[in-house]
Amino acid sequence: MSATAILANGRVLRYSFHERLVHWLAGFSYVYLLLTGLAFWSPWLFWIAVVLGGPTASRELHPWVGLIFVFATLLMYRMWSRQMHETESDKEFWRALGHYVRNEDELVPSADRFNAGQKLLFWGFLWCGILLLLSGLILWFPHLIPWSLRYLRYIAVIVHPAAALLTIGLFIIHVYMGTAMERGAFGSVIRGDVSTGWAKRYHRVWYEHLLRDAAARK
């Protein structure tokens, strides 16, 4: 958390340059994987692969971009895993989920740097990423699997799309909240800072921590 601080202009630095860079490395690689993956998922979406440089190119590049995505996910793990452990207040958050959904944020327990939903997103993407990597490797080289081990291919064709679907569910909510729903959140991952009001309302525990840190440093 050393990189986050109260800025001179009164705003709060939420994500460092490194964090934003890793986020968008994961973001762009994921969107490419999603689009090319969907192209092979359904004949009705095959045109996506045509638009993205041809189906053969999409087939060749999808697994390579998958490796980039896994790399970005591992960087995220290194950056954030310590801040993603479940706490007591996360359990309260889930109990108060209805209030959160109805935008009654004053009835939702205040969160540390990440709230329970963000933690779910993080762990969901991490575990699904591992499943996608393992099944993706089999889908990458199906012809190298001997006939006697063919059940590995059968597992992979189920696990890969199933894990992808789980991430798509998380992704839809993540993008919706980050852009349309929670005003101010998108700027935090683009420019890096948020207003103090935003920090107090959604991540009060984190914000108070920052204030204490700043006071101690004086």
Partner 1 sequence: MSQATLEIRAISGHSGSVPGAGVRREFDVCKLIDTTTCIGCKACEVACLEWNGLSFSETVFNNSYQTMPETQWNYWNLIKFNEHEREDGTLQLLMRKDQCMHCEEPGCLIACPADGAIVQYVNGIVDFQQDHCIGCGYCVTGCPFNIPKFSPTARKVFKCTLCVDRVTQGLEPACIKACPTGCLHFGTKPDMKALAETRAKQLREYSGFENAGVYDPPGVKGTHVIYVLHDASNPELYGGLPKDPHVPWAVSFWKKPLKWIGNIAMIGGLLGVFAHYLRFGPKIEPADEETPRQGGAAPRTGTRDPGGRP
Residues lying near partner 1 in the complex (CB under 8 A) are found at 10-11, 39-44, 46, 49, 55-56, 58-60, 101-106, 139, 141-143, 147, 150, 153-158, 161-162, 165, 168-169, 172-173, 176, 180-184, 195-198, 200-201
Closer residue to partner 1, CB minimum distance, 21 or 158 = 158
d(CA 23, CA 25): 6
Pick what 70 binds: partner 1, ligand HEM, none; C-beta below 5 to 8 Å, kind-dependent: ligand HEM
d(CA 162, CA 186): 28
Question: CA gyration radius for the chain?
Answer: 20
Closer residue to ligand HEM, CB minimum distance, 139 or 199 = 139
d(CA 23, CA 103): 26
Pick what 167 binds: ligand HEM, partner 1, none; C-beta below 5 to 8 Å, kind-dependent: ligand HEM
Of 142, 141, 140, 134, residue with least CA distance to 159: 134
Q: At what angle do helices 116-140 and 151-175 cross, to 10 degrees?
A: 150
Report the interface residues with ligand HEM, using CB under 6 A: 30, 33-34, 36-38, 40-41, 58-59, 62-63, 66, 69-70, 132-133, 136-137, 139-140, 160-161, 164, 167
Closer residue to partner 1, CB minimum distance, 3 or 57 = 57
> Smallest distance, Å, CB 163 to ligand HEM?
8
Q: SS3 of 60, please?
A: helix
Q: Is residue 13 within a helix (H) or strand (E), and if so which, with residue range?
A: strand 12-13
